[in-house]
Structure 1
Amino acid sequence: MNGNVEVVVIGGGYGGVTAANSLARRDGVSVTVVNPRPHFVSRIRLHQLVTGSDDAVEDFGEVLGGKVRLVVDTATRIDAAERQVSLAGGGTVSYDYLVYAVGSGAADPGVPGAAEFAHWVSDLEGAERLRSALAAAPASAPVTVVGAGPTGLETAAELAEVGRKVTLVCGGVLGPSLHARVRRPVARRLAKLGVTVIEGPRAQVAEVTSDAVRLDDGRELPSAVTIWTAGFRIPDLAARSGLRTDAEGRLVTDATLTSVDDVRIVAAGDAAVMTDRPFRMSCQAAVQLGPAAATTVLRRIAGKTPAPVRMFFAGQCLSLGRNEGVTQFSYPNDKVNALRISGRTGAGVKEIACRFTLNKLVSGARKASSRASHGDDTHRLETPRPEHRTTPSDTRGAA
């Protein structure tokens, strides 16, 4: 076909990077990634950044194909009618198709004092501030982790293993996403590390102060550093842009990841939801949704009907410090079962999973750089190119 189809990917996380690399492999498609940071953040290692065992960042040159254009800026609005993305730096980027992959961040706890005094580990900046706060606190100072999901468990264990005095406030049950039998080795490992676990219906936080955490039942836990890991927040870009979202702010899509408002907007990762088939917000989902979103875009460009997305889950890998871990297996539909791998082998499996994920991104970047467009005629792009609008600031922030 004549000319290029311009695809803009908002977000350079797992979903955005895998989508961009998949798209960039196809002749006739130009890909721009808009991301607020100049480097890729390995979110599954942010708890390691806190203790210094990993920096949790990678060069975009390693994980993005060489033909992908990177714009370091923040998207502030999507104009679906004009097919433009406004940027915080003042420019705009035009698109023929848009991949919405803005990810998720720390949730507003809605608990008095939490926003002011608690730290989080769900994004790079929060993890860096937490690391500084821990460095400023005495080694014997009490640390409280609120939330016993995967992030809370990994953070509590990581800190306890380096000698911190940690209390884990579950707000309910320990490891709610785990099978009951898998919780047992997790509880044993935390006990071995000296983590005090507070769980049950009254283990809800009522208030956070500069030096304590108060629970609903009146208990007050001394806490020099409080870490909030419960819940995620979705950026409100879609809602501010007039696109339909669910109660959590996720872009509502059909089964092909296409926005229910606009067939030129396709989503990937935590920031979207298929209302009839919601999926778990996770790296495991994002690395499947990114290529799936790319496939949907390519089929639409080629004038073909996209197929519904199929998701397959294998389980969850948890590191419980550097020396032990637990792998929780699941059925393909993400329902957990009693199968597990624990101990040092579990830690090894988690490390393999982290390295495999990064290697998959690097491999995708290399394939995108080679521009190997072969095979399926979905990717021949033989339909007329839609009108493409540009502005003088389209190149702002390009790497």
Structure 2
Amino acid sequence: MTGNTEVVVIGGGYAGVMAANRLTRRDDVTVTLINPRPSFVHRIRLHQLVGGTDEAVLDYREVLAEGAGLVVDTVSRIDAAERRVTLATGGTVGYDYLVYAVGSGSADPGVPGAAEFAHPIATLEDAQRLRPVLDATPAKAAVTVVGAGPTGIETAAELAEQGRRVTLVCGGALGPYLHPRGRRSVAKRLAGLGVTVLDGPDTKVTAVTRDTVRLGGGRELPSAVTVWTAGFGVPDLAARSGLSTDALGRLLTDETLTSVDDERVVAAGDSAAPSNLPLRMSCQAAIPLGARAADTVLARIAGERPAPLNQVFAGQCISLGRRAGIFQFAHRYDVAVGFHIGGHPGARLKELVCSGIVKHIAGEARKPGSYGLHRVSGGAKRRQLLQAEQAEQAKQAGQAKQAGQGKQAEHGKTPATAEQVA
């Protein structure tokens, strides 16, 4: 490709900013980042914003390359055929390549009263709305946190450390990702903070009212403030724009993160579903995916073949208040192992990770192309999963074909006749 290339990045989170920064390594590429907020949200600190120990935002000048332009707006539609996006304010922006990195948020809880009376914290605005609610609530009033993934555990611990009376409703297992040893460590820390942990099959929330949370086993909990951290959802921009998505609305791509519909559209982060086998929602996945998406675009500009996804995981780190945490180590294909670091060393390691994320992104802004963790091998596990998925798809296609032929035989029609009738 000759001349200047226009690349639009939708979404200014971990994946989008990494992609935008990396794309500036070529002088003949103009990068425009479109984001609805003027500040970068350090999302893994949102529970600290709720607890009042961090604001969870940074100026884009700290993390975004000087060569990348920032447009503060929301994309309402992607017109892939015309290669342009429509903004909520009414304007349009054209592109040669598009990086789709719109991130994720809360899903509709589907529980009576939850949307009205529970407080999500998946976005900056959610957390900013919840903080004054907690500030206005007496310290000893009952607070219920629903969802026992990392966000739920971190929020419960953060609030309990401040003297709040917290109940954590798991809706199943505490920390499903964790190894049993890590889970016991987290449970011990939460108990030490005074958090009541309700786990098991009877802890599914069936309804939320202004001052109660009802569980599937018939139990009713008093709750002055209910915080909802369960569920996962992505913006429906891709689906509304006519692009192929998975069941949750993530953009379907191949292993180079290229849309299955259009090679000019590349996805990264929580909103990407490579080969319909999306990675775990995490900044640990988002940042390398952002780098990989940028490399795919740069390869196409150079007339080269993009490299496939090559993701590696180290584990999962969870803060347990300001004085403790856990780093749960894992196989590089993202399955927890028996080893973890807890207590105060776990807290220090968690903080190192949080600050390290910003350093990775800012480092790429200062020196585009310097980040390289997305090239570290995740092993053969993903390839095995892909082969199994392809075999299952072939099996289902064969069964569907046999079923169709059987139906045609029942009606005394040959395949050609049935095809003509259809």
Greater RCO structure (CA 8 Å; 6+ sep): 1
SS in 1 for 2:352: helix
Q: Deviations over 1:325-367 (max 9, x none)?
A: 0000011111110110000000000000001101111111112
Q: CA RMSD in A?
A: 1.1
8 Å CA contact 2:253–2:276 kept in 1: the answer is: no
Q: Deviations over 1:157-187 (max 9, x none)?
A: 0000001000000000111011111101100
> Which residue pairs with 1:71 in the alignment?
71
Q: Distance in 2 between matches of 1:257 and 1:345?
A: 36
> Which residue pairs with 2:358 in the alignment?
358
SS in 1 for 2:207: strand
Does residue 11 of the first structure (1) align with residue 11 of the second (2)?
yes
Q: Distance in 1 between matches of 2:52 and 2:359?
A: 22
**How far did 1:276 drift?**
5.2
Does residue 273 of the first structure (1) align with residue 266 of the second (2)?
no
**How far did 1:107 drift?**
1.3
One-letter code aligned to 1:35: N
> Which residue pairs with 1:332 in the alignment?
332
8 Å CA contact 2:121–2:227 kept in 1: the answer is: yes
Q: Distance in 1 between matches of 2:205 and 2:309?
A: 39
One-letter code aligned to 1:104: S
> Which residue pairs with 2:201 in the alignment?
201
Q: Distance in 2 between matches of 1:278 and 1:98?
A: 19
One-letter code aligned to 1:267: A
**How far did 1:3 drift?**
2.7
> Which residue pairs with 1:323 in the alignment?
323
Q: Distance in 2 between matches of 1:234 and 1:140?
A: 35
**How far did 1:37 drift?**
0.1
SS in 2 for 1:19: helix
**How far did 1:307 drift?**
1.4
> Which residue pairs with 2:388 in the alignment?
none
> Which residue pairs with 2:45 in the alignment?
45
> Which residue pairs with 1:397 in the alignment?
none
> Which residue pairs with 1:375 in the alignment?
none
> Unaligned 5+ residue runs, structure 2?
371-422
**How far did 1:99 drift?**
0.2
8 Å CA contact 2:20–2:33 kept in 1: the answer is: yes
> Which residue pairs with 1:24 in the alignment?
24
Q: Distance in 2 between matches of 1:292 and 1:362?
A: 17
Larger Rg: 2
Aligned residues: 370
> Which residue pairs with 1:151 in the alignment?
151
One-letter code aligned to 1:194: G
> Which residue pairs with 1:347 in the alignment?
347
> Which residue pairs with 1:211 in the alignment?
211
**How far did 1:2 drift?**
4.9
Q: Deviations over 1:175-209 (max 9, x none)?
A: 10111111011000000000001111010101000
Q: Distance in 2 between matches of 1:336 and 1:204?
A: 25
SS in 2 for 1:202: helix
Q: How does 1:1-399 map to 2 (within 5 A)?
A: 2-275=2-275, 277-368=277-368
8 Å CA contact 2:246–2:276 kept in 1: the answer is: no
8 Å CA contact 2:252–2:276 kept in 1: the answer is: no
One-letter code aligned to 1:162: Q
> Unaligned 5+ residue runs, structure 1?
373-399
SS in 1 for 2:201: coil
One-letter code aligned to 2:300: R
Q: Distance in 2 between matches of 1:23 and 1:103?
A: 19
**How far did 1:212 drift?**
0.6
**How far did 1:301 drift?**
1.1
Q: Distance in 2 between matches of 1:278 and 1:140?
A: 41
Q: Distance in 1 between matches of 2:200 and 2:282?
A: 26
Q: Deviations over 1:247-299 (max 9, x none)?
A: 10000000000000000000000001113543111110001000100000011
Q: TM-score, normalised by structure 2?
A: 0.86
SS in 1 for 2:355: helix
One-letter code aligned to 2:79: D
Displaced runs of 4 or more, over 4 A? none
One-letter code aligned to 1:315: G
> Which residue pairs with 2:378 in the alignment?
none
**How far did 1:116 drift?**
0.4
SS in 2 for 1:30: strand
One-letter code aligned to 1:352: L
SS in 1 for 2:89: coil
Q: TM-score, normalised by structure 1?
A: 0.91
Q: Deviations over 1:132-160 (max 9, x none)?
A: 11011111110000000000000000000
